[in-house]
Amino acid sequence: MNIAAHLEIIIGTMFSGKSTELIRRVNRYEVAGKKVQLFKPMLDDRYSVDHVASHDGLKRNVTYVKDLDDLKRKYEPSIGVLGVDEPQFLESGIIDFCEEHVQRGGISVVSLLLKDFLDNYFKFKDGHGDTSEFIRRADHVTYLKALCTYKTQDDICGNEATRVQRFIDDAVAHPDSPLVMVGGKEAYAPRCREHFKFYR
Ligand SMILES: [Zn+2]
């Protein structure tokens, strides 16, 4: 396969199907003869090192990593396609790492959460930069959206959701609540511009 080296990104809100789209794309490259590795940050210790991720019936092996150094250790330079799911939970150096793979002639496919629950670009774990940098550097950008699930009087809104609302104990989350909550009593819902609410 003679496809040019490039960085392609899938950005989207939660529930937009972006992880499913990532799996679909790397599986497609694999069928075309490319060697693939797919990495995902481990947010807690629930998962073993290798895990079969399944989204809407699509399956493939995923290598879970604790941080960017862990990813670099597990990365095999001979692969054709580097897939990364949710790099917003890693350090900012993940962007350079994806580009270095491209500079060596590879394809990097990345699926990321663009914005946090306050509708700001997601900041990397080390505090340097945010997810907008991926857009600046990508060759191909796909933007996926969920549909707004806000309940109107007798229906559900259904407009395209460009934002996600976070609830803690059924109330809109306070802006000072932690960016990443693991195991907290929280919930998220896709929201359109009209139905996204700021805390007050
Ligand atoms: Zn709505």
**What pLDDT score does 55 carry?**
60
Torsion, Cα of 53, 59, 65, 71 (10° steps) = -160
Question: Known catalytic residue: 30?
Answer: no
**What pLDDT score does 167 carry?**
87
Residue range 123-159, pLDDT digits in tens: 998 999 999 999 999 999 999 999 999 998 889 999 9
**What pLDDT score does 194 carry?**
94
Residue range 170-184, pLDDT digits in tens: 788 888 887 766 555
Q: Which residues surround ligand 1, an ion (CB under 5 A)?
A: 148, 150, 157, 159, 192, 195
Question: Are 62 and 85 within 8 A, CB to CB?
Answer: yes
The parts of the chain modelled with pLDDT lower than 50 are 48
| Pairing assessment for the beta strands 58-65 and 36-41 based on DSSP bridges | parallel
**What pLDDT score does 51 carry?**
57
Separation of 124 CA from ligand 1 center, angstroms? Answer: 28
Separation of 149 CA from ligand 1 center, angstroms? Answer: 7
Separation of 193 CA from ligand 1 center, angstroms? Answer: 7
**What pLDDT score does 139 carry?**
97
Question: Are 40 and 85 within 8 A, CB to CB?
Answer: yes
**What pLDDT score does 170 carry?**
78
Catalytic residue among 21, 86, 91, 100: 86
Question: Are 91 and 130 within 8 A, CB to CB?
Answer: no
Domains assigned to the chain: 6-144 (3.40.50.300), 147-191 (3.30.60)
